[in-house]
Amino acid sequence: MKVWIKHPLATFTANSQDAGNGVVIDESSGKITELVPSGQSPKVSYDQSYDASGQVLLPGLINTHHHLYQTLTRAFPPALNKKLFPWLQTLYPFWARLKPEMLFNATQLGLTELQQSGCTTVADHHYLFPEALTEAIDIQVKAADSIGSRVMLTRGSMSLGEKDGGLPPQTTVQTETEILDDSERLIHRYHESEEGAKVQIALAPCSPFSVSTELMKETARLARKHNVRLHTHLAETHDEDNFCIERFGLRPLDYLESVDWLADDVWLAHGIHFNDDEIKRMGQAGLGICHCPTSNMLLASGICRTKELASAGAHVGLGVDGSASNDGSNMMQEVRQALLINRLRYAADEVTHLDALYWATKGSARVLGRSDIGELAEGKQADLALFSLNELRFSGSHDPLAALVLCGGHRAAAVMCAGKWLIKDATLLHLDQEAIMAAHQLSARKLVS
């Protein structure tokens, strides 16, 4: 079955190709078979059409950093108005109470919320494994399968609790053997390495201050043995810089290099506080950086140096980050925030709405090491998002792509992943949203009661 998504109001391909009159999708292969240039009709035959007139067509958005479990502690009074370290120390004791059904409900709700914002691929960083939640990633795989999105599930880790000078409670940390054994098990069981993968696994120590140096090194060895990617938080705040200098005698990037993490199979969350020399080294290594504008604003962490990183050769993508440091899971809103926060650092003509859309699509795909998603092109995966401009907020706008970002687009009219419709007419096709919300609300109350 081939479907022509025809006559979009505007199209962003993320690669400068002309798809002004839409794309043709092969539902059986889940791929794009043709880009239809402006004013033309498809060259290939098609069976059905989808009328996209009045809608903006984008590649499915890609979220390169999240903590889905944190949807359970949004706008949580004890953690409001705090810097990163005190914020974490406030929330860790509550997060340590996570149970399997809570994580399942949090993952389902977060992925559903992201999907409604046009997001078709999500990288989640889960690093909490209390005794009741040792199979957290297995639970997330099951939840993701029910939603239909692609996921990069990162097996996080914490081995240094409070008694070892770390931030998390002892109940949330594991031994290095437990961490490495489970990491290898998950890679063997779930990781898909082929084109069009729906589930991938990466290895992701939470941060340099929550695991040992030996675990950082062993995690890198294990990841490279199985050809999976590496992820961690780095250079998010000045407090982190000071911690690394005090603990290791090294700045965060120097420490990263000392444990063999300065490489092109690594992506970092935040990456704010790097100097010029460090940015040059990151570019030479081909690292990926997930820019998390809303979280960085909420915690007053700083502003990522996106243009310098990209110019140096690093890959820049976008992430929502945890819903306790964002209080939402909306990738389209994150695109707008990325544009606005970068206008505080750079001149108005140096960062455009097209740059922000690129970061959320092809830029994010490159951060995750994928070349099959993140753009509209023949042979790429049929991951699409369509946004209607038939709202008061868009009335009077003249450039549809600019309007989508500047006027605050936030909910997709239609979403397709791997050639399958997940949303049409702004309605979830295969999910009971009310049931997901009810289960999630109950879990949130139980977690903090």
Tens of pLDDT, residues 232-276: 999 999 988 898 999 899 999 999 999 999 999 999 999 999 999
User: Domain-by-domain residue ranges, the chain?
Assistant: 2-59+382-428, 61-367
Q: What is the pTM of this model?
A: 0.98
- Please give the Cα distance from 360 to 23 (Å, whole number): 20
pLDDT in tens, 430-446: 999 999 999 999 999 99
Is the torsion defined by CA of 340, 117, 324, 142 positive or negative?
A: negative
| Predicted confidence (pLDDT) per residue in 21-30, tens digit | 999 999 999 9
Instruction: Please state, in angstroms and rounded to a whole number, the distance separating the CA atoms of residues 23 and 384.
Output: 10
CATH topology identical between 2-59+382-428 and 61-367 = no
Classify burial at 230, counting beta carbons within 10 Å of its beta carbon; exposed 0-12, middle 13-18, buried 19 or more. Answer: buried
pLDDT reported for residue 323:
87
> DSSP of 386-397, one letter per residue?
EEE--SGGGTT-
Tokens of 443: 């879990």
**24, 2 in Cβ contact below 8 A?**
yes
pLDDT at 168 over 90: no
In what helix (H) or strand (E) does residue 112 lie, and over which residues does it extend?
A: helix 100-116
Q: Does domain 61-367 have CATH number 3.20.20.140?
A: yes
* Residue 368: closest CA among 58, 109, 150: 150
* CATH of span 2-59+382-428: 2.30.40.10
Mean pLDDT, all residues of the chain: 96
Lowest mean pLDDT among 132-141, 165-174, 189-198, 325-334: 165-174
Q: Cα torsion at 29, 34, 35, 41 (round to 10°)?
A: -130
Please list, residue by residue across 49-80, b when 16 or more beta carbons sit within 10 angstroms of its beta carbon and e when fewer do: ebebeebbbbbbbbbbbbbbbbbbbbebeebe
Q: Is pLDDT of 208 > 90?
A: no
How far apart are the C-alpha atoms of 15 and 358, rounded to whole Å? 9
